Amino acid sequence: MENTLAPLHAVLRLNTRLFENCLSGVDDDLLARRTEGGANSMGFIALHVADARYHLLSLLGGLLENPFGRFASARCEADIERLPGRDELCAAWRVVSAVIEEQWEHLTEAEWSRPSGQRLPLDDATRAGAAAFFLQHESYHIGQMALLRRQAGLEAMRYD
């Protein structure tokens, strides 16, 4: 791994833990519960984050079938008949995260510097820039999940 990307790798590893920490102690009923204001449920957000992690893997050149590809056309929670359960989300998260870790370790600076081919709201159009965006995106939604768990009366998400 290139040393300049070590901070991004640290965020990747942190988000890997925090995603599951947000879902710790959450049952499938709570996972699917929407707030009174109609915001997306923790389950929908977790599904979105897990799906995005599969896209990050693809960006990095990794190949792994996305078990959530069937939800690709969903634009909102109403488009989904049944959300995946916590165990399914966490299992898929672990698999994709392990493959990303492996892929990350082998990318060269030249590969990180290649154009990402993604249309993202940043000036850096490289793979490294796209990876930074995907990790920021994960962090944002993990924060939403942490807030929803507190609103549900559970203890705050832990960083350990």
The domain locations on the chain are: 3-151
| Amino acid symbol at 81 | E
Structure confidence by residue, pLDDT tens digits, 30-61: 999 998 888 899 999 999 999 999 999 999 99
Mean pLDDT, rounded, of the chain: 93
Query: Helix, strand, coil shares of the chain as percentages rounded to 5?
Result: 65, 0, 35
* Residue 10 neighbours by CB distance under 10 Å: 11
Domain covering 3-151 in this structure, CATH number = 1.20.120.450
135 Cβ partners below 8 Å, 6+ apart? 8, 11, 12, 15, 56
pTM: 0.93
pLDDT of 94-111, one tens digit each? 999 999 999 999 999 999
